[in-house]
Structure 1
Amino acid sequence: MFTPRVALASLSGESDADWAIQGSEHVGAAFLGGVALDEKTRAAARALVSRDRSEFLPDDPVAFVDDQLTSVADVSIRPGINVRSATLPPIRSVSEVCRAHDAILEINAHCRQEEMCSAGAGQFLLSHPDRLCEQVRMATKTGATVGVKLRTEVPSVDLPNVSRRVADAGAEVLHVDAMDSEHVIADIAETTDCFLIANNGVRDEETVREYLEYGADAVSVGRPSDRPAVLSRVASATDEWFAEVVA
């Protein structure tokens, strides 16, 4: 999927092409975004901005994605774009752009902000897996590589079961924010054959090894993704782990 097996995880309103280029020396992938695609999620994003959260709100979200992916075309990373939508047509449009750029289309079932969940996106989709699977199937129709960003510790959600369902719908990548439930990575790894990226608290050799021992195929760095020293430590630890596994 990508090497080295370290990714930059999207931070809404902050993770653009310049951010990806800045961290590209140490990683194999970067998930830009998240980008709200339809009017419901864009209204939610505007509400988030009104209370001082950062969001991308370009006039044309799909054109914005195309422009951002074009900007990293010559950078040696596998790009991805994290998107939020309550409706299907924009998912198809942006996945076509991702296919053209060999980028991963990452459906956001992760955002827990009330405005986004009320719009029918983000974490709402974890509790409504039929809707999530519809989005995955729509995206895969274009031939794009499709991933889903998930989070643990959502009440009444059987995350391994949701992971299996989205894999059956065609998702190839699962990007899991493990919160304080790192062991769930092992449950998901046993449930699907998807490329599994573990996120949350990845800072050093100890956290890298914990996730990889649980069965993750890669790790991602969120908040400290703009800190080269952290990225370098994580990349070195990841390379060492897989060198040991191969040996």
Structure 2
Amino acid sequence: MFRPRLALASLSGEADADWALAAADHVGAAFLGGIALDEASREAAREMVADRDRNEFLPPDPIAFVDDQLAELDGAPVRAGVNVRSATVEPIRDAARICADHDAVLEINAHCRQEELCAAGCGQTLLRDADRLCEYVRAASDAGATVSVKVRTEVPGVDLPETARRVAEAGADAVHVDAMDSEAVVADVVDRADAFVIANNGVRDRESVAEYVDHGADAVSVGRPSDDPEVLARVRAAIEDVVAAEAHS
């Protein structure tokens, strides 16, 4: 899906095309966003900006914004992706068409746990409604996009490996797992889902990279330190070394 097998994970209000280009020497992919697509998700984002002093992307036309951002990355040495939130399926389909035009990955956000987003039917609410999540995946896949689903472990009542299996069968090409403090769940996702698995959370050095690769992850991603070239260079060297060692073992 991308090489080197290191991605930048989306950071709301910060992960734009300039952010991706600044790290392009170190990573194989960069997930922009998250982008709130429909009115319910945009209202939730506005509430978070007002009440939590958060950064959020709130352009007047989110689909045009996705198109413009991806256009800035056309020809760049990094696979672009866009992490999106929506309480309804049609904007997912629209964003997926734009991603397909730019050979970018459409990443469905089933990850965010903020109360405002969950109340709107976005984020990890989708993990508790696998039927609707699979509907989103099918819509994006049918629109021609490469599809990733961003998920998290430790959501009460959610069998994450089973959900990962279902979204892969619905057409997801990748499952991007925020492992929280349950790193071993990555191995269960790998076992159950026929998809490219990206592991996230605490990726900083060779030890953390090796742990996720030992669990079967195909790639890793970096979140908060994504603007630190020293961390990115260290993680890139680690993932290349560890993957090479695995291939020759």
> Which position in structure 1 is the counterpart of 2:125?
124
Contact 2:213 2:243 in 1 (8 A): no
Aligned to 2:158: 157
Equivalent-residue separation in structure 2 for 1:215 and 1:170 (angstroms): 20
SS for the counterpart of 2:123 is coil
The one-letter amino acid paired with 2:9 is: A
Is structure 2 residue 79 aligned with structure 1 residue 86? no
**Deviation for aligned residue 1:74:** 2.3
Is the Cα contact below 8 Å between 2:7 and 2:31 reproduced in 1?
yes
Q: What is the distance in 2 between the residues matched to 1:28 and 1:119?
A: 33
- What corresponds to 2:99 in structure 1? 98
Matches within 5 A, 1:1-247: 1-51=1-51, 52-247=53-248
Provide the C-alpha distance between the structure 1 equivalents of 2:80 and 2:243, rounded to a whole number of angstroms.
22
The alpha-carbon deviation at position 246 of structure 1 amounts to 2.5
Structure 1, residues 126-169: CA drift from partner, whole Å, max 9, x if none? 01111101100111111110110000000010000100110111
1:123 counterpart SS class:
helix
Q: Percent identity?
A: 64
Q: TM-score, normalised by structure 2?
A: 0.98
> With structure 1 as the length reference, what TM-score do the two structures score?
0.99
- Structure 2's unaligned 5+ residue stretches are none
Inter-partner Cα distance in structure 2 for 1:140 and 1:242:
29
**What secondary structure is seen at the aligned counterpart in 1 of 2:40?**
helix
Give CA-to-partner distance per residue, 1:107-143, whole Å, 9 cap, x none.
0000000000000010100011111011001111111
Distance 2:3 2:64 in 1: 28
Name the stretch that deviates more: 69-78 or 212-221. 69-78
Q: What is the CA RMSD across the aligned residues, in angstroms?
A: 0.6
Take 2:246 and 2:113, find their aligned partners in 1: how far apart are those partners?
Answer: 36
CA positional deviation for 1:14: 0.5
Partner Cα separation in structure 1 for residue 83 and residue 25 of structure 2: 21
**Deviation of 1:72 (Å):** 1.0
- SS of 1:105's equivalent in the other structure is strand
1:243 Cα deviation from its structure 2 partner? 1.5
Letter in 1 for 2:22: Q
Q: Deviation above 4 Å: which 4+ runs of structure 1? A: none
Work out the CA distance in 2 between the residues paired with 1:53 and 1:242: 36
**Matched position secondary structure for 1:59:** coil
Letter of the aligned partner of 2:228 in structure 1? R
**1:115 is matched by which residue type in structure 2?**
E
User: Gapped runs of 5+ residues in structure 1?
Assistant: none
Q: Matched residues in 1 for 2:244 and 2:215: separation?
A: 17
Alignment coverage as a number of residue pairs? 247
| 2:80 partner letter | P
